[in-house]
Amino acid sequence: MSVIYEKVALIGLGLIASSMFWASKRGGLAREISGFARSEATRDTARRIGLCDVVSDSVIEAVKDADLVVLCVPVGVMGAVAQEIAPHLKPGCTVSDVGSVKGAVVEAVAPHLPKDVHFVPGHPLAGTEHSGPESGFATLFDDRWCLLVPPDGTDPDAVAKLRRFWEALGANVEEMDPEHHDLVLAVTSHTPHLIAYTMVGVADDLGRVTDSEVIKYSAAGFRDFTRIAASDPTMWRDVFLNNKQATLEILGRFTEELFALQRAIRTGDGDELFDYFTRTRAIRRGIIEAGQDTDAPDFGRVKAKH
């Protein structure tokens, strides 16, 4: 592979940024990658493990002369970061992000950016329950999707270049508008996370089931809920506050479906339950056939040694 951007700046050094660095190094996609994190401890960790060619002590220094700046910070602070870096961006550079919500990011970031800077929001659909600079790895994006959400009027060359970059990181890339992105993600990610948090919370509140029993007898369903519910609290708080409309719409539909299943259970309607589970089982098979999971997902669990 060849260099796509001379200098890339990663703002925020968690799972996604660190994986972007290692994947970029694997492919030789940038001559220099700078990084910045608000936390001094995070910066120290990044330097210790060799994350980024240069770890800057100021966000302004990190973005200086960068051809691509990627905001890898929680959605709730992206506007403030954009405002801080805007006067120091190189003319003609591209600013992107990796946030799970796109409508709110466009509203928060776009007004601050100079006219001679290209804004191409993005969202890699990849992750684990782990966070922090030491959690990243080069293959995180391989055969996963990255969605680009360029606002109307964005320079097509800037979009095409960012697409090449993400494809070189290993991802499949598609473009969509912000509203559609947020609705799709409310179905595929945001609402499932909220349900997982809720189910773990129910177990926590159920006085007749002790903590030791919940942990000791965790069957696959509850165990995998807890994997989802282990995700970063700051990120998910910001997701729901910034994708309110789509999440509430999907939660309303979820509630209606739940009531229908409650009624089928109460009335002993086995045919309704069987038909419903058959339809939903087909969706799971479709996910496997699309290469987005396996028949036996391990959810990051360490394999038993035989």
| CA distances in angstroms from 212 to 196, 201, 219, 224, 225, listed in the order given | 19, 15, 13, 17, 17
Average predicted confidence (pLDDT) for the chain: 90
Which CATH number is 5-176 given?
3.40.50.720
Give the pair of three-digit tokens for residue 215.
């942990």
CATH number, domain 180-289, options 3.30.565.10, 1.10.3660.10, 3.90.550.10, 2.102.10.10: 1.10.3660.10
What per-residue confidence (pLDDT) applies to 102?
A: 96
At 176, the amino acid letter reads M
218 vs 119, higher pLDDT: 119
| CA distances in angstroms from 243 to 2, 159, 180, 182, listed in the order given | 37, 24, 12, 7
Q: Is there a common fold for 5-176 and 180-289?
A: no
Nearest in space to 176 (alpha carbons), one of 208, 201, 148, 198: 148
What per-residue confidence (pLDDT) applies to 270?
A: 95
- Domain spans in the chain, listed from the N-terminal domain onward: 5-176, 180-289
- Split at pLDDT 50, 70, 90, the class of 75 is very high
End-to-end CA separation in angstroms for the chain: 39
- Split at pLDDT 50, 70, 90, the class of 208 is low
Q: From CA 155, how far away is CA 151, in angstroms rounded?
A: 10
- Which residue matches tokens 């095409």? 160
5 vs 306, higher pLDDT: 5
Length of the chain: 306
- Please list, in sequence order, all residues whose beta carbon lies within 8 angstroms of the beta carbon of residue 246, skipping any fewer than 6 positions away: 179, 182, 183, 185, 186, 190
Enter the pTM of the model: 0.83
Q: From CA 4, how far away is CA 149, in angstroms rounded?
A: 20
What per-residue confidence (pLDDT) applies to 257?
A: 93
201 vs 32, higher pLDDT: 32
What per-residue confidence (pLDDT) applies to 1?
A: 65
Q: Report, as an integer, the average pLDDT of 215-221.
A: 68
97 vs 234, higher pLDDT: 97
- Split at pLDDT 50, 70, 90, the class of 219 is low
DSSP-assigned letter for residue 2: -
Distance from CA of residue 230 to its chain's centroid? 14
Gyration radius from the chain CA atoms:
21
What per-residue confidence (pLDDT) applies to 215?
A: 66
Give phi and psi for 82, each to the nearest 5. Answer: -60, -40
What per-residue confidence (pLDDT) applies to 282?
A: 86
Give the pair of three-digit tokens for residue 121.
């929001």
- Split at pLDDT 50, 70, 90, the class of 306 is very low
Q: Report, as an integer, the average pLDDT of 202-230.
A: 71
Contact (Cβ atoms closer than 8 angstroms) between residue 25 and residue 41: no
Cβ count within 10 A of residue 260:
13
- Which residue matches tokens 């996910």? 287
Highest mean pLDDT among 199-213, 262-276, 279-293: 262-276
What per-residue confidence (pLDDT) applies to 211?
A: 65
